[in-house]
Structure formats: structure tokens, C-alpha cells
Amino acid sequence: MKSQITPKLIEEAYGRLKDIVIKTPLQLNERLSKQYKAKVYLKREDLQSVRSYKLRGAYNKISLLTPEEKRRGVVCGSAGNHAQGFAFACSKLKIKGYIFMPQNTPKQKIERARRFGGKWVSIVLVGDTFDEACHKAKNFSDNKNKVFIHPFNDELVIAGQGTVGVEILEQLEESPDYIFVPIGGGGLISGLGTYVKSKYPKIKLIGVESEGVPSMFQSLKKGEVVTLDKIDKFIDGTAVKTVGKLGFEICKKIVDKVLLVPEGRVCQEMILLYQNNGIVTEPAGALALSAIEQLAEKIQGKTVVCIVSGGNNDISRYPEIIERSLEYQGLKHYFIVEFPQRAGVLKTFIERTLGPGDDIVLFEYFKKNNKESGPALVGVELARKENFNLLLKRLDKLGFKYQVIDRKSPLFGFVV
């Protein structure tokens, strides 16, 4: 699939969108700049009217439909953010639209799509992944003779997303050395990268994916678009099994490197952003920032831009976000511990196995009559990562039989 995306096409989209989208801030972040000894800027697409950059591509595409196409109506498949931009465009342009989203889409994204679209959109929840929902949406579109608005494998959508790059260069008034961009289907990095590389070819364009969804990483490695068999859907905004063919061809030419980030590291950055900067992101929104530590030495003294791609996070997800963050940092651990059924054993466990500042955060004991011992599910939050090995040594010394519940254990999903 040969790309027809040019800087001129992106500049035309920028003119078309200037009264529709918010020119989001490009903010110097003092915490990250000090930490990495660089000038680190955040492009705040989480402050867009629909809380993500997706409005840009959706509106650019839909606004250019012919009168006959608009009359037929439009359809999209989305993990949630494209749906909101699509709904906004449908309402603004008074076009009937149908949105297909996975059944496990965060409620906030569903409700906001419904609010932006109003009477102009109908929402269908189907399947467990974006790819399944998108497939159903395309079939519906074909069967009902409606126009399918792909979230990333479309030149006009990519051109719309590329307007983020136009704004960055206007706001920075210099060439950044590095731009870190989250990758889902590849639309944002393709459009943004096409534009900034046309102006400053030496910019290092860094794509970022989660370890659980390395779709672009694997595709570039193999030299062709691959479909992942299994993905971790936690970072829902980029949980795409198959990247767009159009974006893949562009990325082959312009992306300098794709970095993979553990989901727990993303959760850690989400919490740091909230606690230090008052910024609420969704997991995909913190993805780019989570990766810059991997190039910490290279970016010293450089100008770095990270795309904060979205802020559509359901508050009910924060307990899991905190849990994943602590687990990633090595501060929270779970065990199955066999407790002898005699008085004083629990007191011994608490007083002689935990280190200073360590705390028991979960304890479920299953007492069995006429048994010499009974199992307990124990969760421990450590004051320091290094306390883990000391804890294990104390358990061994005291003769406790135990099993660590780590990610390889089938029990891990029950506690995290």
C-alpha cells in the first residue's frame, strides 16, 4: 500500500481543523527535565476536547466525505478514543454514525462517546478486543452500504493526526532532538513523523508500545505486518493486534526505534504524573513518557517531546493501576503460606519475618479442623524492594512452608 500522505496534505488538514480542535499546550516538565538532564516537553493531547488526539483524524476524514457518502452514514470500530472523535464529528456535521466497541471498553469512554454523539450515533458493544469490534464494524458497513471510517489505516485520518506535529514545531520554534510517540495502530506516529521529518530529518522518532502488545515492533522486526496471537488489553488505547498496512509502510521509512515498556512501568508513570503534576492520563497517555528512561543517557542535554496521547481514564481502574505499579517496583508480593494450627504462629510471623516499614495488606486464612496446618493467602507491601530477599530468608529460617505467587503462577490473576 503506497502512501500518498505528504506534508501538504497534513498542512491542509491543519487549516481544516483549526476551528475544530484545541491547539493543545506543549509544556516543559520540570520534574522530568531535571531527572533526565534534558528539556522534556509534554504535548498535552489529553486536554483536547475529547481528551485525545483522535478527533483530528476522525473529523478530517468525515468532513471530506461527499454529500452522497454523508447521506449514507458512517461506521467505525474503536477501543474508545476514536469513537469519541467520530461521535463529535457526526454530531457537528449532522451525519448518522454507528460505533462498534469491545464489550470491555471502560465505561467512561462509552458514556463520553454517547454524550458527544447524542442522537446522531448508535453504539454497539461487541467482542473482547478492538480487532474483533473493528471487524464487526467493517462487515456492518459493507452490508448496510455505509462509509467505514478506519481509526488508523486511512490517509486522511493519518493526515489529521499529523497536525499534532505541525503544532509541535510551531510551539517549540526549534527542532526537537527526540519525539516519543505511543503506537497502537500506527496512525499518530505515521502522520506526525511524516510532517516533522520533512522539516527536520535528523529528529529521532521513537515509537513506544507496551510489552503486552508489541504489534509494530514485531512487524518491523519481521519486515511485514503481523497479527499477534495474544495481547494484554490493559493499555486499551493501544491494544491492537494488527497495525495498519499504511502506517507500517510509513514507519519502516521514518521511525528510528520502537521501545517496549512493561505495563507496570506505565502505571508507575501514571501515578507520578498525577502526584507531581496533577495530570490524569489513561494508560496509553503515559506510554511515551514511560519509555524515555530507556534512552536516559542519549537524551542528556537534548530537547525531547513526549506525546501525552489521552486522558480518558475510568477512576474505577486506579486500584489496579496502583497494584500493577507496586508489583512492577518490587514493593508488593503475594504468598501462599502454610501456618501450623497452633497458638502464637501468626504473631511469630508478623514479628519475626517482616522488616521495618513492611506491612501485611492482605491476609485470608483457611482453617481446617483436624489438620496440622492451614493455608493463608498473604499480601505484603515492602518499604524497600531489597526487603524481599530478606523476607524469604526469614521465612526459611523459621521453617514456614510457602509459595510465591508471581506472574508465572496461575494464581496471580486472582490477586492482581
- Distance in angstroms (rounded) separating the CA atoms of residues 291 and 259: 7
Q: What share of the chain is helix, strand, coil (3-state, %, to 5)?
A: 50, 20, 35
Quickly count: other Cβ atoms within 10 Å of residue 1's Cβ. Answer: 13
Q: Which of 63, 78, 190, 309 is catalytic?
A: 309
For 229-331, strand residue ranges (E) read 257-261, 303-308
Quick one: CA dihedral 81, 248, 207, 177, positive or negative?
A: negative
H or E element, residue 54: helix 54-63
Quick one: CA dihedral 382, 383, 386, 390, positive or negative?
A: negative
Nearest to 42 by CA among 302, 289, 297: 289
H or E element, residue 144: helix 130-144
C-alpha cell at 209: 508500545
Note if 18 is an active site residue: no
DSSP 205-254: EEEEEETT--HHHHHHHHTS----S---TTSGGG--SS--HHHHHHHHHH
Q: Which of 39, 43, 54, 109 is catalytic?
A: 54
For 328-369, strand residue ranges (E) read 332-340, 359-365
Note if 368 is an active site residue: no
Quickly count: other Cβ atoms within 10 Å of residue 284's Cβ. Answer: 29
Nearest to 327 by CA among 236, 400, 262: 262
- Distance in angstroms (rounded) separating the CA atoms of residues 71 and 66: 9
The catalytic residues are 54, 309
